[in-house]
Structure 1
């Protein structure tokens, strides 16, 4: 009886998990698809500050181009994964990830009106260039590549996957957009002053040297007021310096629960893919609910 109860509990855990997880995935992907379709495409020069959608062409950065770690191919962004194949105690082949990585270099997107720098950290990147192959060595650049032969006649092998974005390719991007410099950045004095004070506090001894006029080892109320005044003046000076710099457009991960997506495919293709994934999530939710009901009915 104990075995039956344990088996029932495990089955219920899987069915409930499929139901809840599928439902969450369905709602999440459907919501993201609607956001993509409802957000109009903006031109970089006239884009509003905040959550925007851009479409343009990737450009090379000024610094030397990146090279993908597995194929040594020049690119502007990469992601890779290396999996090792080995046999378990039952002599079954198992794949496990032994190494992976993602480029954090910024991207430069251009359209007919201007350019925007994109910080790809935290983005869902859907690259058109994807390569997968097998080999007998962990690092295919350092040693000669193998192939499926190595998996058939050796106890272990490796599977590689590499994704890349290249200069000259189109890119669809949706995320948080803002412009620095060019006199467009407004000053939130209270916030900027607080940032300066926090920066100064990291060298508290230096702060005491500058503002502890009675040398008692602490900052009293009048001394702290002078700190606040000096920090405000410093914040205004920094803001003036930034405002004099040329305007620079930047896209980053949104702070709210909004999608941050970079894709070689257009908006319609991505939204359609999300809708199919939402449908798959709905099917998983329905099957999980039916399985849960069936298990509970047979348990009674």
Structure 2
């Protein structure tokens, strides 16, 4: 047994568990404190760009969300028409004399939607985003999935299982703040050098060598000589130019998604930019307070070993 400064006697196993858990919690809260603070700095220090003139890479955009021609999504718990949702289902479970809410199901949508400002539209891919929505509803019921199901009443309702539902969503025409990795495709922006494109075309032709021979083997000797290879290269150069012209006429498509480099943020929120920054700083502050408490408990437990 280990004496915790005269306040309590605990077994060595319990002491090791409590010390490890409080130490890990303090380290996690320390990481979260700096992570939230760094995100707040990104939000506050990154200038807002217009979609048409935005640079490639990490950018901040503000505009209205649109479905982009798709029918709206329907949130799975409450049936709200929306463009993005996130939900959690918890069950009230008994452990001895105590009861606690345990998460049994959670999920979110990942269908892309559009962000529009006064210069154009950008396709948002929300699958890996950290989303901070204003719309949030929490309620309780007697069914695992409340939508479209009739809850039991009377004695069955009192004796049945208890569930708690949480749902968040973004609606069409919401004002959205977005910070992520911006890329533009089409309109000749991603065209390669004509020489590289011609080499790729020749490589594709060589994959079907019989067709290549049928097209360029003028003397029918079953192989391509130097003159015939020159014709192949000339034809590939012409094909490359034609392909580049076709690609240059394609409309430009802008996308915002998760950055390819670790540590860069991908944030979506219908909070105002200043409100989002304050929200992230509050989360950082609460994490710091929790880290101080967890660190003090961990230190108190570690000191008990030195007594």
For the Cα contact (< 8 Å) 1:107–1:117, is it kept in 2?
Answer: yes
* SS of residue matched to 1:61: coil
Quote the RMSD (CA, aligned, Å).
3.7
Matched, 1:75 2:77: no
* Counterpart selection for 2:279 from 250, 266, 273: 273
Structure 2: distance between partners of 1:62 and 1:26: 40
Distance 1:241 1:66, change over 3 A: farther
Aligned counterpart, 2:178 = 173
Structure 1: distance between partners of 2:59 and 2:30: 28
Q: TM-score, normalised by structure 2?
A: 0.77
For the Cα contact (< 8 Å) 2:144–2:163, is it kept in 1?
Answer: yes
For the Cα contact (< 8 Å) 1:85–1:158, is it kept in 2?
Answer: yes
Q: TM-score, normalised by structure 1?
A: 0.79
CA distances 1:251-279 after superposition (whole Å, capped 9, x unpaired) = 11111211101101022111111111111
Matched, 1:17 2:24: yes
Structure 2: distance between partners of 1:277 and 1:193: 54
- Cα distance, 1:145 vs structure 2: 4.6
Matched, 1:144 2:150: yes
For the Cα contact (< 8 Å) 1:86–1:95, is it kept in 2?
Answer: yes
For the Cα contact (< 8 Å) 1:150–1:157, is it kept in 2?
Answer: no
Structure 1: distance between partners of 2:180 and 2:47: 12
Matched, 1:26 2:33: yes
Matched, 1:251 2:261: no
* Counterpart selection for 1:100 from 93, 98, 106: 106
* SS of residue matched to 2:290: helix
CA distances 1:160-213 after superposition (whole Å, capped 9, x unpaired) = 1211111111000000011111222243899999999xxx8xxxxx996648x9
Q: Which has the larger radius of gyration?
A: 2
Q: Which runs of 5+ in 1 are unaligned?
A: 201-205, 214-228
Distance 1:92 1:295, change over 3 A: closer
Structure 2: distance between partners of 1:135 and 1:272: 34
Aligned counterpart, 2:6 = none
Q: Which runs of 5+ in 2 are unaligned?
A: 3-9, 213-232
CA distances 1:39-85 after superposition (whole Å, capped 9, x unpaired) = 00111111111100001111232022212222222211111222222
For the Cα contact (< 8 Å) 1:185–1:243, is it kept in 2?
Answer: no
Distance 1:299 1:174, change over 3 A: same
- Cα distance, 1:103 vs structure 2: 1.0
